[in-house]
Amino acid sequence: MNCIFCGAPLAKKGLNCNYCKKLNPINIKLFEVEERRESKYLCPYCKINLEILETSTVNLEYCKSCDGVFITEEELEEFISYKVNLLHKFTPYYLRFIQDNPRDNRKKPQPQFCPICQETMSIVNYKKRSGIILDVCEEHGIWLDGGELYQVIEWYFVGGNKKKQNRDGN
């Protein structure tokens, strides 16, 4: 993947270009935004107001500084179904590559706070086997750091959601 600003190759781990030093907004590129407006909620990392993005499929909260996304679990699953052909052939090589090369190079030393209720979110492995670590508020939704939404889509696309089925022969 190359930097959208200068064209230089991006490092496997991270969204910041080593050449021009700009953040590449990978999450936002997945959406066809119909309307934007300011949210009253703050990004758990940047502490700036999130934007509400309305698309034809889902509504979500977005941080234009770090490319983070806050979305309900139902809307995340709806969006994934919209974007991914779930019948795609399982490819173990690509799945291992995605799991071994996360797009976000920040380590999550501690749980973040939910933008809505300000309670501490749980740190979970998405679908218990993806290797994609997300912050989850059981009541309000899921926080995906910059690039993590793209990584979830890639994981589904290469059949990560079918891995257990294929191994068990079901």
Q: Is 64 left (phi over 0), alpha (psi -120 to 50) or beta?
A: alpha
Residue-wise pLDDT tens digits, 16-33: 788 888 877 777 777 778
Using CA atoms, how far apart are residues 31 and 64, in angstroms rounded to an integer? 13
Residue 39 has pLDDT above 90, yes or no: yes
Instruction: Determine the pLDDT at residue 170.
Output: 44
Sign (positive or negative) of CA dihedral 46, 61, 161, 158: negative
Instruction: Determine the pLDDT at residue 105.
Output: 52
pLDDT band at 167 (very low <50, low <70, confident <90, very high): very low
Using CA atoms, how far apart are residues 136 and 141, in angstroms rounded to an integer? 6
Consecutive H or E run containing 89:
none
Using CA atoms, how far apart are residues 170 and 168, in angstroms rounded to an integer? 6
Average pLDDT over residues 159-164: 70
Using CA atoms, how far apart are residues 42 and 68, in angstroms rounded to an integer? 11
Residue-wise pLDDT tens digits, 104-139: 555 555 778 999 999 999 999 899 888 888 999 999
